[in-house]
Amino acid sequence: MVERKILHSVRSKTARLDAEEILALDALVAVGIGYAALTRDGMPVYEAECGDVEHAISVREAERLAATEPDHDWRIHLVALRDERHYRRDPDGRWHLYERGYGLS
27 vs 15, residue with greater confidence: 27
Amino acid at 98: Y
Does 96 score more than 70 pLDDT?
A: yes
Measure the CA–CA gap between 62 and 81, rounded to whole angstroms: 23
Are 33 and 80 within 8 A, CB to CB?
yes
Strand partners, 78: 36, 85
Does 29 score more than 70 pLDDT?
A: yes
Query: Where along the chain do its domains lie?
Result: 2-101
Q: Whole-model pTM?
A: 0.80
Measure the CA–CA gap between 64 and 31, rounded to whole angstroms: 21
Does 10 score more than 50 pLDDT?
A: no
Q: 31-90: per-residue pLDDT in tens?
A: 989 999 999 999 999 999 787 788 899 999 999 999 999 999 999 999 999 999 999 999
What local confidence, expressed as pLDDT, does residue 19 receive? Answer: 52
